[in-house]
Structure 1
Amino acid sequence: MKLAARDRFPFTRSVKSRMIAILLLSSILPLALLGFVSYSSFHSFLQHTLTSGIQQNVDKELTGIDNILKNLNFASQQLALDGVMVKDIQRYMTSDDIFQKQESMKNIQDRMALINYSSPHVGIITILDGNRQMLFQNYPSNERIDLNRFPLLVEAKGVSYQAPHLSVDKYGSVTDPPVISVSRKVTDYQDRDLSFYVYIESNFQSMKQLFQMQQYGEVAAHLLLNDGNRVLYSENDALYAPGSVYPANGEGGKAAGGMRFIAASEQGWQLVVLLRGDAFKAEMTSWLVKFGTIGLFSLALGFLLAIIAWRTIYRPLQTFRREIEWMGDSRIIRPRRLMKLIEFDDLLGRFYRMRDRVFALLEEIEWRERARSRIEVEKLRYQINPHFIHNTLNTVQVIAKVHKQEEIVLLVTYFTRILHYNLGKEGVFVHVKDEINNLRDYLALQQIRYGHAFQVELDIDPAAEENTLPRFVLQPLVENALYHGFRNEDGVISVAIVRETDGGIRIDVSDNGIGMTEETVAALLQEQPSGEGRKSGMGIGLAFAHRLIRTYYGEQRGLSIHSRVGEGTRLTIQIPAQPLEGMEHDSDLAGR
């Protein structure tokens, strides 16, 4: 069964956790996007700038090697192409005169010293015979030099350019810096035995200064390749051993274990520089550390802002909660509190107005309940067992029939029907026609009682007969008119019921009796009538009818009385088509 999102992620069910998550995401996402864009841009810029700078250095190194080779070649030309020097060398090789040899030796050594002094890159200068045995040298060197063992970088115009190799220094060691050299053969085509070789190598400082590690910011490995991409010199034998073929797959870029940069000379040989990329990685690491620090600071700041925002919302929410709890637990109205935040103060103000309204409604409900209880008490005080009354009346009716007292029988019959109607259990609301039938029984009973001494006129709108009204509303009105009209021998009571346009009905009960004063009218509608009204029983029914109408149709409804002394009285009730909501099935006030 799949769990709902709120069950799988319970931390999202609180406002606090959601606010923290939203604020953290609002901090992380822009930072992540900014970091991605800046990382890409910085990486591209740094790589382009770094590779461009390194490539320029490699080109400079290539130019430096080429300049050294040119300088060495120029030095060799001063010995091999100078006719005087060539004659001195050949005379030294062929003469048996010791003085001539010494003179030739002196001239040659002076020239070698001059070359060494005037050429900054020249180191050891040697002149070898045809068997490559040492003839002259400016510094102690090996007696025999095998020129074929030196890696040949390029050969042009009879000059061999050798890649870096160990010096021919007689006292040198394998730890000495490598040197580059040139060699050329001076051939005497008339006498092959007079041919000789000139070998010149660079000094130790030339290559050492040229291949500086500091200019790349990290350890660099140099390779020299001939025009066939064969490695002649390598500072990283583990990766590219001398004699191996270098893979020619581009001018530069990534190489095994790092980066590579290539520069090619006009003669076809190439210089390759291999880097591990430590400088590039160091720059990127530095950027990542700074960005990570800023990111952590942003996250901490976002979390702090989330806590502050939560506290800003949490305190008003707590105030709302306490006010609601206090409202539910107590009816005491506490002083109003303000949050000094416009939005929350507005909501809190609405809550306080709602609270006051709720308390007012509760008080109104309690008042209604008290009124309802009083009515129930009144009902219980005046209630008589209906079965006892009916049985007693039936007994009276039987006795009257036995004694042939038809008037008494008729009187008891009317009274029994009236009593059954008023104490009926059909409900509070009855149709107008049922109320009229009960009124006719009541009038017939009263006419028997008073000997037909009054006149009643009924004007009932047929359209109103199906309307409903509370039981026992009409009889108290007629009873009041009968009481006042009965004092006049020509008393007339008019009862008119009409259906109005809104679906309700209007009841008018009027008489031509003696009328009432304003004080008497006001006393009639009181809960407890006093004075003459109480003694005669007048007013109890009117107060009941007035209260009944207001209970079921609203406080704005009720009984209105218009009366003048000597002119009569008119009682008016307007009953809407429907009672108040929730009162349709109420039977608490129905007579039982």
Structure 2
Amino acid sequence: MKVRSIRSKVLIAITGITLLTAAAMAFVFYGRSSRMIEENYIIVLSQRTRLLTDTVDDMLKNVCNIDIKASCDSEVKEELEQYLNDKDEKWLNNISTRLRTFSKMDQAITSMYLVIPGERQVVTTLDYPVYRSGFKEDKLRQFETLCGKNDGPAIMDDLVHSKDKLLQFTEKVTGEDGQVIGYLCANIEEQNLRYDYLEDPSNQELGQIELIEDGRIIAAREQSRMGNKFPVKKYKNFISHSEVTGADKENIYIYCEGSFSGCGIFASVKRSAVLGDLAQMRKYIFGVAAVFGLIAMLAAIYISRIVYKPVRKLMTAMQSIANGEMDTRAEVVSKDEIGLAAEEFNRMLDRIEELIGQLIQEEKKKKDAELEALQYQITPHFMYNTLNSIKCYAMIHNEKEIATVIGDFVELLQTCIRKKGTFLTVAEEIQVLKNYIHLQEFRNGEEYQAAYEIEHEAEQCLIPRLILQPLVENALIHGLDLKNNRKHLTIEAYTSGSRLYMKVRDNGRGMTQEQIEELLKKKGKKTKGLTAVGIPNIQERLQLYYGTQAKLSLKSSVEGTEATIYLPVNRSEDEES
């Protein structure tokens, strides 16, 4: 849609901003609500998982203590040694009866076994069989090997019912000579762990809850997973510490580990299950946003009408001005920014009419000045012709010195008053300086030892016209005037990188640092002629042409004064402009 008026822009802007704000607030509120619900759920789930872990850990600790107590029971040891001595099976029945006393100390214990490897027998607390004999040696050796590897609970094959697996605590039973005569096992069936702890109705929303010990699953909702390896690589970020909470894109994970047994509970829940109750809230939030959007559109239509009325009047006045009706003025209908704009527009029209009148007068004055300038061009030409005639006369009468001085003066005069070109090359500037020094020698009746050290690369660089002449003038008049010996002056120019350096050095009386600072800070008047233009004039011209890229500096001692100018290297007058 093509927007043609400010009214449409205001309408679209207000509606768009309101809808965007409402949508943003809805998304932010919904996002914060979902995060808050999720964070609270994680906290509650962490607390529940920690409580469940501690309960399981306390149970395992109690079972372990019962197993240790039974393995150290003097009656069990005595009856076992009696059996090993006389092989009377009544001792096995007595041991079974004694072990039943220990198995009843905790309901989590489903049975207790006394494994007698030397006799290849197992005494149980079961009603049937009370004991079982004839185990294969390789099976008993495997049992003894697993017992030696595990200090805590371990998943073991049931020696009595070979198809089942048990969670066992195993302790050695030693005789009076300290030799191992048996192993006492406290058995916990996986289904007891599952029913008593993992199938809690309060945890039904959990998609996965498993009891893990040493990288293996010892209890899970699916009985077939008991004894399987836990996928550590898949969940390594969520079981890296004794208590971890985390989440990925789809699930929330909780892991808690018991301090005694080292067994941990790993639980996971789908995020969609946690945030399922937000569906109704989402409908409510976006419904409110839609109502606010409709109200915003109605408000935008009303506000755009109020705003557009003075703008329309101002646009009408502008169109009239564009059609040439310069006496038209905008109607001021309000005291706000638009009314102020209308007042300023009217003042601008008044100023434009005034400037047009001034421009007409200036054009007239400019034409008069051009005519006057054409008339004044006759005077310089008359002066050049007259001086050249005197020069020729002097040469005819063998007054070569006078002729040379007049020739130098003509060149210097042409350089000073010519209109064309603001810049000279370094070579042209040096020629002007030579003429000037020659004139000063003729005028003062003394000789100056001038040396020119001009680098070839610097000769064609452009510099402001007569930028060095005031420095040479100061050196001749103020620096060398009191010297009785040879008056030496050196003019140097060279390039370094993108800069051109020019130096004027004399062997005069020098200046103090205070004099240098006063001279550089002095504000000079721009007057006509050569001798009235000094250091301030040079600084102003450098600032005008180059800004901070050029600078004049002075340093002085009893051996003389050195003035240095540096400015950008340019070999085209277009670059200077």
Is TM more than 0.5 here?
no
| TM-score normalized by the length of structure 2 | 0.41
